[in-house]
Amino acid sequence: MKKCLMLIIAIFIIGGCSTQEVPDTNELFLIPNGFEGTITVFYNVTDTPVLEKEGKYSVIPVIEASLKQLEGTNINRYGVYLTSSLFRFDEGATISNKYFYVDEKGKRTAIDEKCTYYASTGSFTLDNGKELNYQTIQVTNSQCGQDFYFDGEDRYEIQEREVLKYWKEQAE
């Protein structure tokens, strides 16, 4: 009986040690009204603002930009934001982000989650040894649905590769 009790206690102790609560991502994206495409957020960028907080959410005010390498295509406009905040994404975290379109007057319109795709996270090391982390998402207002939510859009993946290539060259 004593051995059985000790075994049960050991199972609870081991089980309790292995279950760590993983925080949610809690990011709030403010996206220019009507934007469709890839949004890339770069973290740990020197001389850029830290992410402001709105309640428990880190606010990411996306800026729309144009990539010369993609001129003449329908994917030359992309979204970007650079911050000195450190990137934190814990394996197994629940993606609890919120996405809003914002008009010229600052009015927010919620974007349905089926119009978003969490594309990727990653990093690259610069020549000076500094590591820049990034995350990319895709947003649409014309192809919303389960397919977009789970797989994104192929042309935005091309856009993502070109944007990352461009910013890596700029940072070095």
Mean pLDDT of 144-159: 96
Mean pLDDT of 92-118: 91
Quote the CA–CA distance of 149 and 102 in Å, as a whole number. 21
Amino acid of residue 12: F
Q: How many residues does the chain have?
A: 172
Mean pLDDT of 27-48: 95
Per-residue confidence (pLDDT) for residue 78, from 0 to 100: 97
Q: Is the pTM of this model over 0.95?
A: no
Per-residue confidence (pLDDT) for residue 6, from 0 to 100: 43
Helix, strand, coil % in the chain, rounded to nearest 5: 25, 35, 40
Per-residue confidence (pLDDT) for residue 90, from 0 to 100: 59
CA separation, residue 45 to residues 67, 76, 81, 131 (Å) = 20, 23, 10, 9
| Contact between 33 and 102 (Cβ < 8 Å) | yes
Per-residue confidence (pLDDT) for residue 129, from 0 to 100: 83
